[in-house]
Amino acid sequence: MDVTAGWYLALGAVLFVIGASGMLLRRNALVMFMSIELMLNAVNLTFVAVGRHTGDLNGQVAVFFVMVVAAAEVVVGLAIMIAVFRRRSSASVDDLAMLKG
């Protein structure tokens, strides 16, 4: 049995749904960031699968740019979370709502 692009697309869809549900259901900021990263990796898998299926290199180029944006998002997001955690001793998103001006 050959593994076709459809299998990779289905896996990408499942990973994206898991990430989206983690984003919507959990209130911990770290879990939310991991869910966002899972969704980005699901999209990367989809880009690579479609690019390989069509024989085009643009899927890998798009993955490169998504990985750069994801790395920048992690750096900025973790810096903000560490600053909030030092002040509040909690990583809950509900505590961040109290920081409004």
The set of residues, in sequence order, having a beta carbon less than 8 Å from that of 76 and lying 6+ positions away, is none
pLDDT at residue number 98: 63
For 63, the token pair is: 């993955």
Q: Which fold has domain 5-99?
A: Helix Hairpins (1.10.287)
Dist CA 29 CA 36 (whole Å):
11
- The domain segmentation of the chain, as residue ranges, is 5-99
pLDDT at residue number 91: 66
CA distances from 19 to 30, 49, 89 (A): 13, 19, 25
pLDDT, one tens digit per residue, over 35-83 is 999 999 999 999 999 999 999 999 999 999 999 999 998 899 888 888 8
pLDDT at residue number 1: 79
Dist CA 44 CA 69 (whole Å):
12
pTM to 2 decimal places: 0.83
For residue 86, the tally of other CB atoms under 10 A from its CB is: 8
